[in-house]
A and B are shown apart, each in its own frame.
Chain A
Amino acid sequence: MSKRKRAVFITVWILLMALILAAAFAVGSSGEKESIQAVMRDAVLHDSNKISLFGIKDVNPAVISALSVSGILLVFAAAVRIFVIPRFKMVPGKFQLILEELVGFFDNLAKTNSPHRNGLLGAYVFAAGAYVFVGTLFELFGLQVATTQGLHITLPAPLSDINGAIMLGCLSYLIILSGGIAGNGLKGIGKTLKDFSLPISMSFRLFGALLSGLLVTELVYYYLSLSFVLPVAVGVMFTLLHALIQTYVLTMLTALFYGEVSEPHKKEKTKKVKS
Chain B
Amino acid sequence: MGVPLNIDWQQILLHLFNFLILAGGLYLLLYKPVKRFMDKRATYYKDMDNAANEKIAAAENTERQYADRLADVQEEIGQMKKKALEEAEQTAQAYLADANEQKCRIIQDAKKAAQAEKEKIMQEANAEIEGMVSAAMDKMLVSAGENSLDNFLDRAEKEE
Contact = CB atoms under 8 A, between A and B. Distances in A.
A149 to B, nearest CB: 16
Contacts of A122: 31, 35
B29 A123 contact: no
Contacts of A171: 16, 19
B147 to A, nearest CB: 152
Given A70-B19, A167-B16, A77 B25 contact: yes
B31 A103 contact: yes
A85 B18 contact: no
B143 interface: no
Contact of B41 (A47, A90, A126): A90
B11 A163 contact: yes
B15 A107 contact: no
B37 to A, nearest CB: 5
B88 interface: no
Nearest to A166: B12
Interface residues of A, number: 47
Given A80-B30, A124-B23, A167-B15, A88 B8 contact: no
A161 B37 CA distance: 37
Interface in B1-54: 5-8, 10-12, 14-16, 18-19, 21-23, 25-27, 29-35, 37-38, 41, 44
Given A45-B6, A100-B34, A167-B15, A70 B29 contact: no
Contacts of A170: 12
Contact of A100 (B22, B25, B38): B38
Contacts of B19: 66, 70, 127, 131, 167-168, 171
Contact of B22 (A62, A74, A78): A74
Contact of B5 (A44, A130, A167): A44
B26 A59 contact: no
Given A45-B5, A60-B11, A123 B27 contact: yes
A78 to B, nearest CB: 6
Given A74-B26, A162-B6, A67 B34 contact: no
A142 interface: no
Main SS of the interface on chain A?
Answer: helix
A70 B37 contact: no
Interface string A2-36: 00000000000000000000000000000000000
Contacts of A106: 31
Interface in A146-179: 158, 161-164, 166-168, 170-171
Interface string A102-114: 0110110000000
B160 to A, nearest CB: 142
A116 interface: no
A205 interface: no
Given A104-B38, A167-B15, A167-B19, A162 B29 contact: no
A219 interface: no
Contact of B15 (A57, A66, A73): A66
Contact of A67 (B18, B31, B33): B18
Nearest to B13: A167
A71 to B, nearest CB: 9
Contact of B7 (A69, A74, A103, A163): A163
Given A81-B29, A163-B12, 13 more contacts: A45-B5, A57-B10, A66-B14, A70-B18, A73-B25, A80-B29, A85-B37, A103-B38, A107-B35, A122-B31, A123-B32, A131-B23, A167-B16
Interface of A: 44-47, 53, 57, 59-60, 62-63, 66-67, 69-70, 73-74, 77-78, 80-81, 85, 88, 90, 99-100, 103-104, 106-107, 122-124, 126-128, 130-131, 158, 161-164, 166-168, 170-171
Which A-B residue pairs are the 7 nearest by beta carbons? A127-B23, A77-B29, A167-B15, A70-B22, A163-B11, A81-B29, A103-B34
